[in-house]
């Protein structure tokens, strides 16, 4: 069973949509990953993220794709890279990550409600 949180606690997590503008291999990572630059619109700007999404995605396939990310966690040092947002996804049956993304295009920076 999962623990319960209040709606107010949920609203503290700022999940926004952004467009991937750069995706490159991250060879220094302990687990295979990509370094992403994601455009979250004028209010939030371009942020960096490390994402372990290499099984289902190639860097060139990520360009222009909208993804969801938590933008209000503190930055996290991952090897030599500072990750500024948590890119969101779900684990498939093998534990490999499938990105969480909007069904239709929405403006960058749109908040999840």
Residues linked to residue 87 through DSSP beta bridges, in sequence order? 69
From residue 110, give the alpha-carbon distance in Å to each of 23, 26, 43, 51, 97: 21, 28, 10, 21, 23
Q: How much is the pTM? A: 0.94
pLDDT tens readout for residues 4-15: 999 999 999 999
pLDDT tens readout for residues 50-93: 999 999 999 999 999 999 999 999 999 999 999 999 999 999 99
- The answer to whether the beta carbons of residues 76 and 87 sit under 8 Å apart is no
Task: Return the CATH architecture of domain 15-99.
Answer: Beta Barrel (2.40)
* DSSP classification of residue 108: T
Ranges of each domain in the chain? 15-99
Sequence-distant (≥ 6) Cβ neighbours of residue 68 within 8 angstroms: 15, 16, 17, 87, 88, 99, 100, 101, 102, 112
């Amino acid at each position: 069973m999962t623990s319960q949180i209040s709606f107010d606690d949920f609203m503290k997590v700022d999940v926004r949509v952004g467009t991937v503008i750069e995706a490159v291999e991250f060879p220094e990572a302990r687990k295979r990953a990509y370094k992403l630059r994601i455009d979250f619109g004028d209010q939030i700007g371009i942020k960096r993220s490390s994402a372990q999404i290499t099984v289902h995605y190639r860097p060139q396939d990520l360009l222009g794709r909208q993804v969801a990310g938590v933008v209000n966690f503190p930055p996290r040092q991952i090897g030599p890279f500072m990750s500024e947002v948590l890119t969101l996804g779900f684990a498939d049956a093998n534990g490999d990550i499938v990105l969480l993304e909007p069904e239709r295009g929405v403006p960058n920076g749109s908040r999840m409600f």
